[in-house]
């Protein structure tokens, strides 16, 4: 049966024979529905593997010819369905009043319990009884207290003591203890300086509690009008809390309370005077002290603080400082050993991301655990008993892709550095909690993934869990993207990128080029793993060469490579990207003079920036959901890279401030209900363009949030580039009913 898209396309062909003669409608036919057509052609692609706590089992999802399924397996390699997919789909259909496909269950944040599973579906957390297949909603729990976020509700449930005999609760902004009658533990709380239990912690012995008293900061909101709500004809006004760079933040004050006497210590804040955030409080198991992490406003200092339970005195166990920024997004790791006798800590202090061992008593570094001109990417496990760290690292193999992750083991003292994976590819690894085995999914953009279960410490293969078969995919005409490297602006560093060509590629044809950009400093973004239905390949089917590369300012290389973004988001690695394009122009079919660019969110800021800051190189841009001025966007992401206080660097990177420089063709797009990036950011840049008398296109999608805009948007973006880079009139979609 023909899909709606195929039927509309066929009608377009019937109504527009002149367009068909230009050869673009067959390209659209390959483009539209590309992902759905290719997804069934490669079964056995495995998602992230998760070990089930306190067991010898793990679970994962894998692709099938009809969708996906969830699997559990044990350390012997015995596999089985994780649950009855049909019964779960039936239960969800009954509960939600809509049909659920057993082969397309989109379960997020899946957790396995003894006789149940928990998962997130459509922003609701549900629990499934695996014996009765009954579903029930479970309350969402609060995470760490991050200043500047949404205000935590003070209607929090009472918190039970470790012995279960008493509890504390909030009343009139203060903390009370259940008794006969209930008694206040604090009396100095007020609306302007209130206590919260959201990050509290009873000491394990039940003698003390540690809490935060909050002096509230600015309560900024962003406002929306939902133009076309489902429930009524008239528009609906809405608002959400949304802190922006420079806003006054909540100031949390740690308070230690002796439950028996009511004695209170306001912990001296000399070591944490200007918090962007204080983390959740954690007690030592012997109740001698509690800890929290301090992230300084501006993200240039990060400390692990320990507070003595007897005196309330704080001290810094770890003091991490940077002249630029401490990347807490992906480069913060802490593991306390033997109840804080030692701490393993991650840092870029020597110019590369590495691990350090701290003495918990003195706060001094005992030794650097890993060292070299390569980066630790993540810690896969800490075996405290045998004093081993298992970690993933990249960049060790000179001349090879510096983003490929490999698994290593090393002693706490840095000795016995052992490599556990060797194949030149990316290794997605999960180490078992007992450190007796690990799973390894090996993949490259040109290598279908193989998932293995191996024994530790011998590295012996136990079994191959899954081996993806891409035979049908390749028979369909699919080809992997080409890897290309070129020198960066410094003339030494390699910039790695990919080139996607249309499946009907003709080396005698000169193709316009589209760059997909996302230059957010929090990660690197060029695919390193096998992806049979990448959206960039779909765009290439329209008759383009589509490319992506990671320029300087992105993560997962050296600290110097990363620091290019510091107070300089507008750079977006463009000097490196332009050199990469010039290197790719060695191919006669690569038309660097017809270069377009598109991106979403931070990539939306980047893609418009291409036309403002490099207009002689880029000719057309599609910018969707862009954070065009970092002063308008969320505080957490932007202050980390652009600094605090808000300085002139923000204006220097602003697309709004530089809108008058626009050259080339531009399509701006925004969802009217975007809760990630303030939609006003797009409207402000549009206003600046109008004032500068610039021509551009603007699309506002009613009811749309930050993403998931669907086929209409996909066609709109494609039409823009077909018209402006191929110089071809797109299909008349209105010709089809």
| Local confidence band at 13 (pLDDT 50, 70, 90 cut-offs) | very low
Positive/negative CA dihedral, 716, 717, 722, 724: positive
In this prediction, residue 180 carries a pLDDT of 82
Positive/negative CA dihedral, 357, 304, 351, 329: positive
Distance of CA 327 to the CA centre of its chain: 14
Q: Residue 68 above 50 pLDDT?
A: yes
In this prediction, residue 23 carries a pLDDT of 37
Closest alpha carbon to 408 in 366, 450, 375, 448: 375
List the alpha helices (DSSP H) in 447-597.
Answer: 471-475, 535-540, 559-563, 574-584
Provide the Cα torsion 78, 83, 84, 87; round to 10°: 180
In this prediction, residue 140 carries a pLDDT of 64
In this prediction, residue 179 carries a pLDDT of 83
What percent of the chain stands above pLDDT 70? 94
CATH architecture of 143-317: 8 Propeller (2.140)
Contact present, 669 and 662 (Cβ < 8 Å): no
- Tell me the whole-structure pTM to 2 decimals: 0.94
Distance of CA 180 to the CA centre of its chain: 49
What percent of the chain stands above pLDDT 90? 88
Q: Residue 199 above 80 pLDDT?
A: no
| Local confidence band at 462 (pLDDT 50, 70, 90 cut-offs) | very high
- Out of 170-174, 199-203, 357-361, 522-526, least confident range: 199-203
Average pLDDT, the chain: 93
Closest alpha carbon to 643 in 351, 296, 329: 296
Mean pLDDT in residue range 455-476 = 96
Q: Residue 667 above 80 pLDDT?
A: yes
120 three-state secondary structure: strand
In this prediction, residue 119 carries a pLDDT of 94
Question: How many angstroms separate the CA atoms of 407 and 454, rounded?
Answer: 12
Question: How many angstroms separate the CA atoms of 699 and 554, rounded?
Answer: 29
| Local confidence band at 19 (pLDDT 50, 70, 90 cut-offs) | very low
In this prediction, residue 354 carries a pLDDT of 98
Helix or strand holding residue 358 (H, E): strand 354-359
Phi-psi category of 562—alpha, beta or left, where left has phi over 0 and alpha has psi -120 to 50? alpha
Q: Residue 737 above 70 pLDDT?
A: no
**How is the beta sheet containing 174-177 ordered, strand by strand?**
159-160, 167-171, 174-177, 183-184
- Locate the domains of the chain by residue range: 4-32+477-735, 50-137, 143-317
- Phi, psi dihedrals of residue 680, rounded to the nearest 5°: -60, -25
4-32+477-735 maps to which CATH number? 3.40.50.1820
């Amino acid at each position: 049966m023909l899909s709606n898209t195929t039927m509309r396309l066929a009608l377009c062909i019937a109504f527009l024979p002149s367009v068909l003669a230009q050869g673009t409608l067959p390209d659209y036919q390959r483009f539209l529905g590309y992902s759905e057509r290719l997804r069934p052609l490669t079964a056995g692609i495995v998602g992230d593997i998760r070990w089930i706590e306190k067991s010898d089992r793990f679970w994962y999802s894998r692709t099938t010819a009809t969708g996906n399924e969830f699997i559990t397996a044990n350390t012997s390699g015995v596999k089985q369905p994780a649950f009855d997919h049909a019964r779960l789909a039936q239960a969800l259909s009954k509960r939600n009043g809509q049909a659920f496909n057993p082969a397309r269950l989109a379960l997020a944040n899946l957790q396995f319990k003894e006789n149940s599973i928990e998962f997130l579906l459509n922003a609701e957390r549900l629990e499934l009884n695996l014996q009765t297949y009954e579903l029930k909603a479970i309350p969402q729990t609060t995470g760490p207290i991050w200043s500047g976020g949404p205000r935590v509700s003070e209607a929090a449930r009472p918190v039970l003591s470790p012995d279960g005999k008493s509890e504390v609760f909030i009343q009139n902004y203060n903390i009370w203890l259940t008794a006969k009658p209930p008694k206040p533990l604090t009396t100095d709380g007020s609306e302007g300086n209130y206590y919260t239990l959201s990050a509290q912690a009873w000491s394990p012995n039940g003698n003390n509690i540690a809490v935060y008293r909050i002096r509230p900061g600015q309560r900024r909101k962003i406002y929306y009008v939902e133009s076309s709500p489902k429930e009524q004809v008239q528009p609906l006004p809405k608002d959400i809390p949304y802190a922006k760079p420079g806003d006054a933040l909540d100031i949390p004050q740690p308070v230690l309370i002796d439950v028996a006497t009511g004695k209170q210590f306001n912990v001296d804040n000399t070591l944490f005077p200007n918090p962007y955030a204080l983390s959740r409080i954690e007690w030592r198991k012997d109740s001698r002290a509690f800890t929290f992490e301090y992230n300084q406003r501006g993200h240039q200092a990060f400390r692990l603080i320990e507070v003595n339970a007897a005196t309330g005195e704080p001290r810094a166990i770890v003091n991490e400082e940077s002249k630029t920024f401490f990347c807490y997004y992906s480069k913060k790791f802490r593991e306390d050993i033997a109840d804080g006798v030692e701490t393993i800590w991650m840092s870029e202090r020597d110019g590369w991301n590495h691990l350090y061992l701290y003495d918990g008593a003195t706060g001094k570094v005992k030794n650097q655990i890993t060292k070299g001109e390569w980066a630790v990417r993540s810690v896969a496990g800490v075996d405290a008993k045998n004093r081993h760290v298992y970690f993933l690292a990249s960049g060790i193999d000179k001349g090879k892709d510096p983003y490929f992750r490999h698994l290593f083991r090393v002693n706490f003292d840095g000795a016995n550095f052992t490599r556990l994976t060797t194949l030149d590819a990316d290794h997605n690894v999960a180490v078992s909690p007992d450190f007796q085995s690990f799973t390894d999914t090996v993949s490259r953009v040109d290598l279908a993934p193989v998932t293995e279960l191996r024994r530790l410490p011998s590295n012996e293969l136990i079994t191959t869990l899954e081996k993806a078969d891409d035979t049908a995919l390749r028979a369909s005409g699919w080809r992997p993207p080409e890897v290309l490297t070129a020198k960066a602006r410094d003339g030494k560093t390699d910039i790695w990128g990919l080139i996607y060509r249309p499946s009907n590629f003709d080396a005698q044809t000169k193709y316009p080029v589209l760059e997909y950009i996302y230059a957010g400093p929090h990660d690197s973004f060029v695919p390193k793993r096998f992806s049979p239905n990448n959206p960039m390949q779909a765009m290439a089917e329209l008759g383009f060469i589509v490319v992506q590369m990671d320029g300087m300012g992105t993560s997962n290389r050296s600290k110097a490579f990363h620091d290019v973004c510091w107070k300089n988001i507008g750079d977006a690695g463009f000097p490196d990207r332009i050199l990469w394009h010039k290197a790719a122009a060695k191919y006669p079919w690569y038309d660097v003079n017809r270069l377009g660019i598109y991106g979403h969110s931070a990539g939306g800021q980047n893609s418009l920036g291409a036309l403002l800051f490099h207009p002689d190189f880029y000719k057309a841009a599609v910018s969707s959901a862009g954070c065009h001025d970092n002063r308008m966007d969320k505080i957490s992401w932007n202050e980390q890279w652009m600094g605090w206080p808000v300085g002139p660097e923000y204006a220097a990177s602003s697309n709004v401030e530089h809108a008058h420089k626009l050259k080339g063709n531009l399509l701006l797009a925004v969802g009217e209900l975007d809760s990630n990036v303030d939609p006003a950011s797009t409207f402000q840049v549009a206003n600046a363009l109008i004032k500068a008398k610039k021509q551009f296109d603007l699309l506002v999608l009613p009811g749309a949030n930050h993403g998931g805009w669907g086929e209409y948007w996909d066609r709109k973006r494609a039409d823009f580039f077909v018209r402006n880079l191929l110089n071809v009139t797109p299909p008349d979609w209105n010709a089809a009913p």
